[in-house]
Structure 1
Amino acid sequence: MTDAALPAALPLDPRDPVALTAALIRCPSVTPEEGGALVLLEAVLTAAGFACTRVDRNGVPNLFARWGARGHARSFGFNGHTDVVPVGNPADWSCDPFGAEIRDGRIWGRGAADMKSGVAAFVAAALDFVRDTPPDGAVILTITGDEEGPSRDGTLALLDWMATNDEAMSHCLVGEPTCPSEMGEMMKIGRRGSMTGYFTARGVQGHSAYPHRAKNPVSAMARLMDRLASHELDQGTDHFDASTLAVTTIDTGNPANNVIPASCKATVNIRFNDRHSGANLSDWLAAEAARVQAETGVAISVDCSISGESFVTPPGLLSDLVAAAVQAETNRVPELSTSGGTSDARFIKTHCPVVEFGLVGKTMHQVDEHVEVAHIHQLKGIYARILREYFA
């Protein structure tokens, strides 16, 4: 790539990760809106010689970009997203949520941490790399607009398209923010599984003064929720903390204090490690519901939604490569962690080995979201070092 290859009207140097972060923040890409973010990235990458394809599905915007030959034996991939969560009340912000203001050594705006800075860093690193050291292999970028949404037509759509078009990544790094407080302190080699159970208890309505004439779904639901919340799922595994179950709501919608309602609903959320599967946990929830139903005579049904299974990329070539680059650029050896919520790595793990490393995520999804400008430059340096070492 040469400077002359960039569009004349491009208002920034895309190899500057802070300038590119700012340009992306100014795109109001609240999920599922594209907001101009992927249009900008496609223009930048096309000008640099990447073969770009929009892989939109069901109205969800996605971008695939490859530098190098298709089907090459060595292909390093980056994955990220440009969609962001809503800003909430703009009046609560000290700045324009889409203004990308730089002050106090930080850049402010929705998506600054999660994760337009990460996308900007790996795009800028890739642009430099293919210009300065054209690799014997392929560099692939998969960028979605559906990570903060339902995630049905984002990275999954990109992987489906790749499977039918003879495109593949040998290894992949997801640029999500992974560091709790300090740059370089943590990377993710896996994630817990996540699922939600929705319970409905149906009893018989009656007067609270005559409880024997009714079947109280609230009492039955309270018994069931206590059993679920009190149960120890496990004590953790080699790479994971103990699995957790949280009761998130119990609802009846009953405005009367002297009426036993006819129905009650409750919800639990489970974050589980590699000792479990979503299917096995679903069976357990159904069995516990059936047990309480038999004890109380109150019919209890459960509907389970599995967001993702647990997975781990065992420590080895990929994690060593990333950890060495992080240490070289930050003087910190990152902890190999599986903590936190879900990410699109849960989809990529069936395609190729995958790990995650990105910025400090303390302010993601918060009012006045921001990251340190110096950390964005540092992240580009880490990603650039990873590319150099991978193709060395």
Structure 2
Amino acid sequence: MNDQQALQLIEAMVATPSVSGDEAAIAQLLVEQMNQLGFDAHIDAVGNAVGVIGAAAETVVLLGHMDTVPGNIPVEVRDGELWGRGAVDAKGSLATFIAAAARAHAEQRLTYRVIVVGCVEEEVASSKGAHFVAQTMAAPLWCIVGEPSGADRLTLGYKGNLRAQIRIEQDAAHSAHASHTAAEHGCELWQAIAQHAYSINQGRERAFDQLLPSLVKIESGGDGLRDWCELLVNVRLPLDLDPAAYTAMLQQLLPNYAHLKVSGATPAFSSERTSSIARRFGRVFRANGQQPRYVQKTGTADMNVVGPAWGCPVVAYGPGDAALDHTPQERLPLAEYLQAIAVLTAVLSND
């Protein structure tokens, strides 16, 4: 696959809407494109686009996601950047996977049997595509997850995540009375959650190591007899605090009139920079005159699903600035996209 074909691929992908839960059109596009490039490609039972290329004994997986958050951004190339929803998060990474594997294979440099997976529903709590692959596919030698790191950096880990709904109910009371309203109890509870996190974070300088709760939404109301307040809380978890342990802590903070419902939970995950795939990237970066740079991110990705399930080295890589994820300014520098393809082609090759 040459650069022009790679540019056509990413533009076609970004131009195909694929909000979580509605990925059928882009899955079909990717299967058609991969089959034309020499992959054996299909759509699996949950809607993932899967392509296999190469016949080596060792299998590696390049796992990206096809879905995006909502929000229409007109697709256009402006000043060398491709604008559009999903350009950075994370169609640029998935297009990099397809282009690099196809290029290494066409140039007879491919060292591995490569499975490229475009997953569904990464942007929602289900992570349905990644869970299906983790449960049904044998563990590979190593895996690269497609998320924007920048073409010259490698992501080693992501924080865990817990999403919880907390509901407070009490008998209705007149606001002139001394008793607290349900809304006031909800505010007090949020302050207790925030203060608890503050105490845990003492001495933890890196955000990756901290417990980071956020109040996503708070609502209150009543029917004249009962008052209620609901909080939606999202918590980023460090490596040393799994969802079950934090849920137990959270339960202890709740008064007896509050009820907790966890709607999604994923543990943190990180690989070592000395892993086989991290070292392989390091060699390629150095060969290109770049000092290897490694990051651990405060978000959560499909790495958190497949990493613990497979127990193999897992890193994340892809072009683009993650600060543009989910924003109206989402755009991908096309020169960086082509640079990432060259880097990953070398990683997959026997150079």
Task: State the TM bucket, normalised to the shorter chain.
Answer: 0.7 to 0.9
Residue of 106, 115, 120 corresponding to 2:81:
106
Residue of 251, 271, 279 corresponding to 1:320:
279
Looking at structure 2, the residues matched to 36 and 302 of structure 1 have their Cα atoms a distance apart, in angstroms, of: 38
Q: Give how far 1:127 is off.
A: 0.8
Amino acid at match of 1:224: L
Q: Which moved more, 1:279-288 or 1:198-207?
A: 198-207
Please give the residue correspondences for 1:20-31 in structure 2 after superposition, counting only pairs within 5 Å: 20-31=9-20
Looking at structure 1, the residues matched to 329 and 292 of structure 2 have their Cα atoms a distance apart, in angstroms, of: 29
Residue of structure 1 in register with 2:315 after alignment: 355
Residue of 63, 66, 75 corresponding to 1:82:
66
CA 1:355–1:286 in structure 2 vs 1: closer, same or farther (change >3 Å)? same
1:52 aligns with 2:41: yes
Q: Give how far 1:149 is off.
A: 3.2
Looking at structure 2, the residues matched to 237 and 347 of structure 1 have their Cα atoms a distance apart, in angstroms, of: 26
Q: Which structure 2 residue ranges, 5 or more long, are not aligned?
A: none
1:248 aligns with 2:216: yes
Residue of structure 1 in register with 2:246 after alignment: 281
Residue of structure 1 in register with 2:189 after alignment: 224
Q: Give how far 1:134 is off.
A: 5.1
Please give the residue correspondences for 1:142-157 in structure 2 after superposition, counting only pairs within 5 Å: 142-157=117-132
CA 1:330–1:378 in structure 2 vs 1: closer, same or farther (change >3 Å)? farther
Residue of structure 2 in register with 1:158 after alignment: 133
Please state whether the residue corresponding to 2:208 is helix, strand or coil: coil
Aligned-residue Cα RMSD (Å) equals: 2.7
1:38 aligns with 2:22: no
Amino acid at match of 1:240: F
Q: Give how far 1:241 is off.
A: 2.8
CA 1:222–1:145 in structure 2 vs 1: closer, same or farther (change >3 Å)? closer
Please state whether the residue corresponding to 2:297 is helix, strand or coil: coil
1:382 aligns with 2:343: yes
Runs of 4+ with deviation above 4 angstroms: none
Q: Give how far 1:221 is off.
A: 2.9
1:55/1:158 contact within 8 Å kept: no
CA 1:105–1:135 in structure 2 vs 1: closer, same or farther (change >3 Å)? closer
Q: Give how far 1:136 is off.
A: 5.2
Amino acid at match of 1:138: R
Residue of 5, 15, 18 corresponding to 2:7:
18
Amino acid at match of 1:340: T
Q: Which structure 1 residue ranges, 5 or more long, are not aligned?
A: 4-12, 294-298
Q: Give how far 1:120 is off.
A: 1.5
Residue of structure 2 in register with 1:202 after alignment: 169
Residue of 111, 125, 143 corresponding to 1:172:
143
| Number of residue pairs the alignment of both structures matches | 344
Residue of 43, 53, 76 corresponding to 1:67:
53
1:306 aligns with 2:264: yes
Residue of structure 2 in register with 1:125 after alignment: 100
Amino acid at match of 2:26: A
Please state whether the residue corresponding to 1:156 is helix, strand or coil: helix
Q: Give how far 1:377 is off.
A: 0.7
Q: Which moved more, 1:352-361 or 1:48-57?
A: 48-57
Looking at structure 2, the residues matched to 53 and 325 of structure 1 have their Cα atoms a distance apart, in angstroms, of: 31
Looking at structure 2, the residues matched to 354 and 52 of structure 1 have their Cα atoms a distance apart, in angstroms, of: 23
Q: Give how far 1:222 is off.
A: 3.0
Q: Give a deviation string over 1:244-282, Cα, whole Å, max 9, x none.
A: 122333321369xxx996222223221111111100110
TM-score (norm 2): 0.88
Looking at structure 2, the residues matched to 330 and 154 of structure 1 have their Cα atoms a distance apart, in angstroms, of: 37
1:236/1:242 contact within 8 Å kept: yes
Looking at structure 2, the residues matched to 368 and 276 of structure 1 have their Cα atoms a distance apart, in angstroms, of: 34
